[in-house]
Structure 1
Amino acid sequence: MVVDASAHSYNLAEDNYAAGRYSKAVVDAFHGAHYGLSPVGHRLSYENFARDWTLPETAKMLFVESDYDFACHHVTPINAFKDGGCSVAKAKEAREQWPNRFQVYAGVDPMFPEQALDSLEQQVDELKPVGIKLYPNSYTADGVVGWHMDDPELAFPIFQRALDLGLKAIAIHKAIPLGPVPMDHYRMDDIDAAAAAFPDLQFEVVHGGFAFIEETAFQLARFPNVWVNLETTSNLAVAKPGAFQRVIAGLITHAGEGALDRLMWASGASVLHPEPPLKWFWEHFHFSEEMREREGLPEITEEVKRKILGLNYLRMHGLDPKTVAKNIEGDEFAIARAKGKAAPFETSLSKGLAK
Structure 2
Amino acid sequence: MLNDLPVIDAVVHAFNFTGANFRNQYGSVFADRITRASMLGPEGFVLDGHDEYRRNWSIDDAARVAFAESQTDLAAYHVLPIMAFRDGACSIEKAVRAKQKWPHRFAFYIGVDAMSGAAALDEMDRQFDMLEGDAVGVKLYPNSWLADEITGWKMDNPEIAFPIFEKARKMGLKAVAIHKALPLGQVELDHYRVDDIDRAAIEFPELNFEIVHGGMAFVEETMFQIRRFPNVYVNLESTSSLLTIRPAQWERVMAQFMQSDGMRKKILWGTGGLMVIHPRAGLEAFQRFRFRQETIEGEGIAQISDDDRRDMLANNFVRMTGIDMAARLAACENDEFSQARRQAGGMLPPFSTAPTASSPQDPAVVKA
Shorter-chain TM-score tier: over 0.9
Q: Is the 8 A contact 2:255 2:295 kept in 1?
A: no
Partner of 1:179: 185
Do the aligned partners of residues 108 and 330 (structure 1) sit closer, same or farther apart at CA in structure 2, a change above 3 Å counting? same
Give the SS at the match of 2:69: coil
- Identify the residue that residue 3 of structure 2 maps to in structure 1: none
**How far apart are residue 289 of structure 1 and its match?**
2.5
Check the 8 A contact 2:39/2:46 in 1, yes or no. Answer: yes
Q: Which consecutive residues of structure 2, in runs of 5 or more, have no partner in the other structure?
A: 1-5, 360-368
User: Would you identify which runs of 4 or more consecutive aligned residues in structure 1 move more than 3 Å?
Assistant: none
Alpha-carbon distance in 2 for matches of 1:289, 1:159: 43
Partner of residue 44, structure 2: 41
1:231 maps to which residue? 237
Q: 1:59 aligns with which of 59, 63, 66?
A: 63
Distance 2:358 2:219 in 1: 38
- Asked whether the equivalents of residues 25 and 180 of structure 1 are also in contact (C-alpha less than 8 Å), the reply is no
Q: Partner letter of residue 143 of structure 1?
A: E
CA contact (8 A) 1:123 1:129 kept: no
- Give distance in 2, aligned partners of 1:118 and 1:32: 35
Report the Cα distance in structure 2 between the residues aligned to 1:135 and 1:28, rounded to whole angstroms: 18
1:29-52 superposed Cα distances (whole Å, 9 cap, x missing partner)? 10122122x101222211110110
Q: Partner of 1:98 in structure 2?
A: 102
Segments of structure 1 that go 5 or more residues without pairing to the other structure are none
**For the Cα contact (< 8 Å) 1:257–1:298, is it kept in 2?**
no
Residues 6 and 266 of structure 1 are in contact (CA less than 8 Å); yes or no, is this contact kept in structure 2?
Answer: yes
Are 2:28 and 1:30 equivalent residues in the alignment?
A: no
Partner deviation per Cα, 1:151-205 (whole Å, 9 max, x = no partner): 0001000100110011110000001111221111111111111011000000001
1:266-285 Cα distance to aligned partner (Å, 9 max, x none): 11012221110101101x21
Q: Distance in 2 between matches of 1:29 and 1:187?
A: 20
Q: What amino acid sits opposite 1:181 in the alignment?
A: V
Q: Deviations over 1:108-137 (max 9, x none)?
A: 001101110001011111112110000110
Tell me the alpha carbon deviations over residues 207-236 of structure 1, each in whole angstroms, 9 at most, x when there is no partner: 001111001001111111000000010010
Secondary structure at the residue paired with 1:304? helix
After superposition, residues 68-83 of structure 1 pair within 5 angstroms as 68-83=72-87
Distance (Å, rounded) in 2 between the aligned partners of 1:109 and 1:322: 34
User: 8 Å contact 2:55–2:357 — kept in the other structure?
Assistant: no
**Alignment RMSD:** 1.5
Q: d(CA) in 2 for partners of 1:129 and 1:330? A: 24
Contact 2:22 2:85 in 1 (8 A): yes
Q: Identity rate of aligned residues, in percent?
A: 45
Return the offset for 1:317: 1.5
Amino acid at match of 2:154: H
Residues 219, 306 of structure 1: alpha-carbon distance in 2 compared, 3 angstrom cutoff: same
Partners of 1:26 and 1:322 lie apart in 2 by: 38
| Aligned residue pair count | 348
Q: 1:292 aligns to what?
A: 296
Structure 2 counterpart of 1:167, one-letter code: L
Distance 1:247 1:154, change over 3 A: same
Give the deviation of 1:141 after TM superposition.
4.1
2:255 equivalent to 1:249: yes
